[in-house]
Chains A and B, each alone.
Chain A
Amino acid sequence: QSALTQPASVSGSPGQSITISCTGTSSDVGAYNHVSWYQQHPGKVPKLMIYDVSNRPSGVSDRFSGSKFDNTASLTISGLQAEDEADYYCSSYTNRDTWVFGGGTKLTVL
């Protein structure tokens, strides 16, 4: 199972919006609405930000949103804030009853 494809890095200025893509295949991202996104600050435990493509857990800012088209899922962060600077990972359930992560994207807030 190959890792999902994410850009290595993205950046944006405070107040701007950015989008991180996550490309898989018809066996994972394209097959199920079970894509989730995680935020990880250095030295910290990953935190769930989006689940099942577009759902936000309680307590997660509505500046975070998710979507999917075909084999590509996306995470959008609007109104960028300094605290959003972190690594972001997507994950998907697969048709082999396994899970797979993306390689991760480093978000820099300029």
Chain B
Amino acid sequence: QVQLVQSGAEVKEPGASVKVSCRASGYIFSDYYMHWVRQAPGQGLEWMGWINPNSGGKQYAQKFQGRVTMTRDTSISTAFMELSRLTYDDTAVYYCARVPRDVGTAMFDYWGQGTLVTVSS
């Protein structure tokens, strides 16, 4: 069965960086783009960007340009999202979610369980 398993909760100080991992299983890793979505407490979903596990190509939301880096390690079917220069507003649950590479369809069909990142001094 398809599973996206994320790394555990993190507590970071303002100005620090955080790196969240998302290990995929149950499907061919390169057949799906991996996206990252975050949700601040009591707020809605916010799209951050995607990475193509096959080519390493990526696209980030303008809001996070210069501060987010998405990478992948195909040998362990794992995607990573690193966010730098953290502020209190970055406190949120961060999700990975896959989207088929098939250009005929676009949907987040499987999601990771979420990783809570708390920015606190």
- Which residues in A have some Cβ–Cβ distance to B below 8 Å? 1, 3, 32, 34, 36, 38, 40, 45-46, 48, 51-52, 57, 87, 89, 91, 93, 96-104
Contacts and interface: CB of A to CB of B under 8 A. Distances in A.
Contacts of A38: 45, 108
Contacts of A96: 59
26 contacts: A1-B61, A1-B62, A3-B44, A32-B106, A34-B105, A34-B107, A36-B106, A36-B108, A38-B108, A45-B95, A45-B113, A46-B45, A46-B95, A46-B97, A48-B108, A51-B106, A51-B107, A51-B109, A52-B105, A57-B107, A87-B44, A91-B47, A97-B59, A99-B50, A102-B44, A104-B44
B13 interface: no
A39 B4 CA distance: 18
A1 B64 CA distance: 12
Interface residues of B, number: 22
